Structure 1
């Protein structure tokens, strides 16, 4: 396949993923059909290698960056590394609770991709940042994944109704909140703080690939939540999960930023709390629509 043809195919994939994530566009595919389509997309277009991304320019940029931007980059990438690793080691219950083989097959690609994202950030710290990740970065939404995973495992043994209810809450928590709001805001923050100044092209390439991976995850999760929300009891579950974790997401951008034992100022471009609130409002409105006023 030629480079131009390969690029064209990826452009088409990105357009399709944008369409899937935009719940204003109707998608009549049933869950298994959508899951299988995204599974095939992951097989064909999700095989990028974290070790092949060129980090040469990132090393130069980091070496000449002002101290505040360097320190905030360490803080920022710590949050992503922690998040990807935390999900990677705890995602199996999300695969297991899915009711069909096609859905489990698609979700299994997500499990592999979370480990791949983790590998990239481990490499980035080693080869570009040259330090270990910080240990004072709060990510409360991720801290609750362990009990959520245990809840999913327990629900598998309790029958189809409990299993479906647990799946709704699990998807709202992970694909809806963590990936659908928190991670998407993270990409925007990268672009605002470094990307718009043409800094860190290796990190930009990684985020492009990670965002494509997570576009599949989020697209499936949002479409499933939209279908589940037709039942009033599930609409209420979705709203409750979203509202439960909004304060925790806001804390991530309201916390004291400490790097190498010293407090640093957050770059003015971040505007994390505003970005979180806007994405949160958009996701909840897209999923629940007119039901938002009823639940």
Structure 2
């Protein structure tokens, strides 16, 4: 490949939505090593065996999910780079750093607070379908097939389902569990600090995923069938992940959470993403960029 020139020399960086996300990522940089888990470690020791098991169950889904998205992101970065979308690539470099930090945070949480290993026992069939099969398959397809269809399937899997439905529902679970534990005098300041950082990072990731899919749909309106089919295909497995964690405790979830509440929350996240993308397919590229920039101030 012979390069024909450089965008920065020719016209400079464009003040686009992805560049705004890049600036926000720099502004909100954080270090998992700086989180103090002293109180959390003492609190974990106060939990009942069932509460400890449920806490590890939730953490295991996060740490492996974060490892999966870290490992599987690179093909998308390569596709965007080959297309010459410099500002998007710049943001995606921070995206990858974010995912690495999330792995580090949940690893610290498990090893320092719970001092536990071998958590794959918590990975059920629905979880494995998404993280062991569908996510790597969709992302690695981009290595040989950078088509808009392949990009759309990858973004739906990664940003809309894994991050937009499962991760968002997981954060909600952490906050609700912390509320319940606080009633019995158990505090988890380090855990909640890290979860807030992770959620803020991933709100940018989801915003980029919506932007990417909106751009693809604007350029190729016929992609809507691909997007809709992919979202509807993955939804039962995503809801299954949520249901499985509760079904593992037939006598009641030890952290005082109810399955119906979280299934409804997950469905609400799915419907919210679905509506956003349904609107995007009727927008042109200028509208996609304008709407994204107008909402940028509200994004973390």
TM range (shorter): 0.7 to 0.9
Alpha-carbon separation, structure 1, partners of 2:89 and 2:156: 17
Distance change >3 Å, CA 110–CA 186, structure 1 → 2: same
1:33-82 CA distance string (max 9 Å, x none):
11111112112222x11111011111121111222221100000000000
Q: d(CA) in 2 for partners of 1:225 and 1:290?
A: 8
1:257–1:264 contact (8 Å) kept in structure 2: no
**Is 2:72–2:140's contact at 8 Å kept on the other side of the alignment?**
no
The number of residue pairs the alignment matches comes to 253
Whether the 8 Å contact between 1:68 and 1:265 is mirrored in structure 2 is no
Partner of 2:68: 86
| Distance in 2 between residues matched to 1:109 and 1:290, nearest whole Å | 25
1:219 — aligned with what?
A: 207
Query: What is the DSSP-based 3-state SS (H/G/I as helix, E as strand, rest coil) of the residue aligned with 1:269?
Result: coil
Residue 87 and residue 32 in structure 1: after superposition, are their counterparts in 2 closer, same or farther (change >3 A)? Answer: farther
Deviations 1:90-146 (A, max 9, x none): 210011111312111111111111111101111111110111142222323222222
* Aligned-residue offset at 1:281: 1.3
Conserved? CA contact 2:159–2:209, under 8 Å = yes
The answer on 1:58 being equivalent to 2:40 is yes
Aligned partners of 1:32, 1:165: CA distance in 2, in Å?
Answer: 27
| CA distance in structure 1 between the partners assigned to 2:179 and 2:95 by the alignment | 26
Match of 1:200 in 2: 188
Which SS does the other structure have where 1:155 is aligned? coil
Aligned Cα RMSD in Å?
A: 2.4
Q: Which residue in 2 is equivalent to 1:36?
A: 19
Matched, 1:232 2:256: no
Change (3 A) 1:57 1:216: same
Unaligned runs of 5+ in 1: 1-30, 157-161
For the Cα contact (< 8 Å) 2:214–2:280, is it kept in 1? no
Structure 2 gap segments, 5+ residues each: 1-13, 283-300
- Tell me the TM-score normalised to structure 2 length: 0.77
Query: How many angstroms apart in 1 are the aligned matches of 2:113 and 2:247?
Result: 20
- The TM-score, its normalising length taken from structure 1, stands at 0.79
